[in-house]
Structure formats: C-alpha cells, structure tokens
Amino acid sequence: MRLSIPGLGLLAGLLCLATPPAMADGWNLFDGGKLLATGGVSQVEGAGGGGIANWALITGYGTRDGVGLNVHYTAVLLPDYALQSPGISVGLWDRLELSYAWQAFDTQNTGAQLGLGAGYAFHQNIFGAKLKLVGDAVYDQDDWLPQISVGLQHKENDRGAVIAAVGGKGSVGTDYYVSASKLFLAESLLVNATLRETKANQFGILGFGGDKHDDYSSQFEGSAAYLFSKRFAVGAELRTKPSNLSIAHEGAAWDLFAAYFFSKNLSLTAAYADLGNIVIHNGQRGAYLSLQAGL
Amino acid sequence: MKGIGMKNALRIVSIGLLLSAAPAFAENSLYDEMGGKTGMDHLVDASVDRYLADPRIKDIFDESNIDRIRAELKDQFCMVAEGPCEYKGHDMTAAHRGLHLTNANFNALVEDLQLAMDAQGISFPVQNRFLARLAPMQHLVVSK
C-alpha cells in the first residue's frame, strides 16, 4: 500500500488544529459531555456512524450545549485495491453534523490490466451534512421512537473521463439519506438503519449513474453492535448498492467489526469487510481499519 | 378402571412440583443482582463520594444536604431496581429545579455511577439494565 502524503499531511494538520483553545471559565465549547462511544466512529464517507453504514447519531462528544470535532484516517486493504481516506467532521450542539472526507482509491496492478497504468487512482471529495430531527437514541429508553436524522453526501470524483469510458454518467453525485438509530441499553445493543437515495457506483469511486441504470435508487444500510463494555463493541453491517454499470454486477457489501474506544479522544475500528466484485475482480474481501481522534 | 396409573400419577406430581418450584429458578431481580440492600446502599455512597470529588459536578452539591441526598438516592435506586423500597423523596423535576443541570452534568453523574458499579464488580450487562431505567430521567433532571 502506498502511503498518501496529502492524506497524512491533512491529518497531521487537522490534529494540530484540534488542540483545545483557551476556554472561558465555566463554559466549555468542546464539552466532551456525551457518554463514551455515543459519538460513534467515522464511516467510510466521513459521517458519524460505523464503518460502511451510517448512524443517526451526531458525530463527536459535544452535547446540545457544545461542539465535538474529530479527524479520522481510514484504510481498506483489499486483494486488488486499496482505499485510503482522511477526513474531518464536526458535531454542532448534537443537532447538526458537517463532514469532509477525501478518498483515494488505488487500483494497484488492476490499473495496468485495465490500461490505466499500475497504481492509477480515483479520488473523491465528499462533503456531508446530517441533521438530527427527533428522538434521542440514548436517553429515550422508555420510548420506542429511535433517533432519526436526515442527511446528504455530495461527492466529487476527479476521474470523469475514465468514469465515462466504463459507462458512468457523471463524476459528481449527491446521496440523500434518512437514518434511524436506537440503543437498546438494557440489552447492550445498538441498532441502526438507513435508507439512502443514490446513483453512486462503488460508493462514487466509479462515478454516478450508468449505461444500465441512470436514476436514483433506494438502498439500505444497517448495522447492529453489541457492547461488551463501555469501551468495546462488536457488530455487523450490511449495505446494498445499485448496479448501474453493465461492465460488472455490483452487489451488497458487508462487514464484521470491532471498535475500541481508548477514550473520548481516540478510537480504533477494525473490520473484516466483503465488498464483493469491483470491476474485473471478484471476492474483494479484506481489512478495514479506521483511527479517529477528536475533542 | 385403573385410573391414571402410578407412573402417570408420578409424572403429573413431578410436573406439578417443577411448576411450583419454577419461580425459584427465575432470573434474579435487578436488585438482587446488584447486591441487594447492602450492595445498593454501598453503591449510592460510593457514587455520591465520586460526585463530590468530581470537578465537573461537585459544585452542584454546594447547597445540598448530602446526608438527605444519600438517603433519598438509596430509596430511589432500590425502587428503580425493583427492590422492596418506596421512594418518598421529592419528585425528580422539583428536586433538580434551579440547578440548571446540563446534559454534560447528567452524563458525568452517569459516568461516576458506572465507575462505582465497576468498582463494586457489577457486570456490564447488569449495569446497562439499571442505567436503562435511569436514562429517561434525563428529561426530568436536565433543565438547561
């Protein structure tokens, strides 16, 4: 795996920015007041969530009186490809989340097989916003209503010509979603479900829309996590995706993950992920690793 | 007519005995799993000690009668865990009125309680069953 210098540079820069500023006495902007793990980790597109699946929870540890900020670095190491993604996200008053992630998808030797050149990479900027509408996943233990949020992820891919050559219809796309999260605290179980309207091929890495299908379709992503302790959760995720391109059938992705929260400032997520077929290669199963640091 | 026969009669009696004994095998109450009266009282004292030492929340108790808080919490925790107690203290909204408690304050109380439960060896699943009953009080306690 090639290390991405812009990515690491961005992460280092953001970590420097993340040094707490001087606080006014008695009022702490970065209040870090949420309970451990309830800020989630950073999902693959940068939003607060799990790994490949989104959550309705607002990222970070700011309560409704504060702000939470975090940076993350995610790597997905597959047999024939590698994805790296640094990102930053902010949770404002436990109500609004704004996120940015940069993805680099390295085609490694597959690039040569496809005539693009070995190590050819697709890049995406992903800008996200999420708004909490109703419910509180943690406190509302006496209510069946989950926490519900709506959001969008706007994606800009830099490889329009290649995307067009494989049958993709655009290099820019926006996903819209509604997410529901519920903590069944007495059972130590967190459940998440998201309905996503999307045209993205392989999360947008192969563009948006295709020769086979060029409309939005409704896709599902869900996850369940069992809490073994305050710090440690294990679970599974599933995410369906549209199959818009005639060059290859795109199927659902799933993973089994474990997340460890060292503190509210640092967490590590590791997963065994199955992304299925990606263009000419089947069986893209490998390791998903994500480190998140925040305030 | 030989009636139901000895073997069958024994079967019925054994089933009857099993059924009548069943409550003894039922899951222990949360109160028992948290150590009964001794355990719950100790938990309250240990938690309050942590509250008073926690820089995030200790000021909240400046004007409080700590002994009364301990006594009322003991009744309340016992009742929440379905122990043989009745909480006769102030209602939650009234008890916290004017304190202007934030979510961060509430969560600090939870975190200290979790540490006290850890120290007492209460298992994480049992802790969560208890916390699930306390969590909705956020709506009554947090006023800011």
- Average the pLDDT over B99-124 and give the result: 96
Q: For tokens 């967190």, what's the residue?
A: A190
- Residues A239 and A219: beta-carbon distance below 8 Å: yes
Q: What are phi and psi of A168, to 5 degrees?
A: -70, 150
Percent of chain A at pLDDT > 70 equals 91
Report pLDDT digits (tens) over B25-64.
456 799 999 999 999 999 999 999 999 999 999 999 998 9
Identify which of B56, B143, B134 has the alpha carbon closest to the alpha carbon of residue A64: B143
Q: Which of A82, A30, A52 is nearest to A293 (CA)?
A: A30
pLDDT at residue B5 above 80? no
d(C-alpha B54, C-alpha A292), whole Å: 27
What angle do helix axes B103-119 and B36-53 make, rounded to 10 degrees? 130
pLDDT digits (tens, 9 = 90+) for A55-77: 999 999 999 999 999 999 999 99
- Cβ–Cβ gap B114/A230 under 8 Å: yes
CA–CA separation, B70 and B47 (whole Å): 9
Nearest to A188 among B107, B125, B135 (CB): B125
Task: Give the residue among A39, A40, A89, A46 at the shortest CA–CA distance from A62.
Answer: A39
Q: What is the pLDDT of residue B87?
A: 83
Residues of A with CB under 8 A from a CB of B: 28, 31-36, 63-66, 94, 136, 138-143, 185-188, 227-230
Q: What's the predicted TM-score (pTM) here?
A: 0.87
Interior/surface letters B111-141, b for 16+ CB within 10 angstroms, e for the rest: bbbbebbeebebebebbbbbbbbbbebbeeb
Asked whether the beta carbons of residue B132 and residue A143 sit closer than 8 angstroms, the reply is no
Q: How many beta-carbon pairs under 8 angstroms link A with B?
A: 61
Say if the Cβ atoms of A65 and B132 lie within 8 Å.
no
Confidence of residue B114 (pLDDT cuts 50, 70, 90): very high
| Per-residue pLDDT of chain A in tens (295 residues, 90 and over written 9) | 444 445 545 444 544 444 444 444 456 889 999 999 999 999 999 999 999 999 999 999 999 999 999 999 999 999 999 999 999 999 999 999 999 999 999 999 999 998 999 999 999 999 999 999 999 999 999 999 999 999 999 999 999 999 999 999 999 999 999 999 999 999 999 999 999 999 999 999 999 999 999 999 999 999 999 999 999 999 999 999 999 999 999 999 999 999 999 999 999 999 999 999 998 899 999 999 999 999 8
Which CATH code, of 3.40.50.300, 1.10.150.570, 1.10.490.10, 3.10.129.10, is assigned to B28-141? 1.10.490.10
Its ipTM equals 0.86
Residues of chain B contacting residue A228, judged by C-beta atoms under 8 Å apart: 124
Cα separation, A84 vs A122, whole angstroms: 11
| CATH architecture label of A5-20+31-294 | Beta Barrel (2.40)
Chain B residues whose C-beta sits inside 8 Å of any chain A C-beta: 102-105, 107-108, 110-111, 114, 124-125, 128-129, 131-133, 135-136, 138-139, 144
Q: Which of B54, B92, B103, B123 is the best mutation test for A, with the most CBs of A within 10 A?
A: B103
Confidence band, pLDDT 50/70/90 cuts, at residue B9: low
Query: And the tokens for A223?
Result: 């996850």
Name all contacts of A111-119 with Cβ < 8 Å and 24+ positions apart: A113/A280, A114/A279, A114/A280, A116/A162, A119/A2
The Cα B66–Cα B82 span in angstroms is 24
Neighbours of B45 (CB within 10 A): 14
Closest CA to A179 of A28, A22, A47, A18: A47
Q: What is the pLDDT of residues A91-146, one digit of tens each?
A: 999 999 999 999 999 999 999 998 999 999 999 999 999 999 999 999 999 999 99
* Closest chain B residue by Cα to residue A136: B136
Among the partner-chain residues B104, B125, B136, the one whose CB lies closest to the CB of A141 is B136
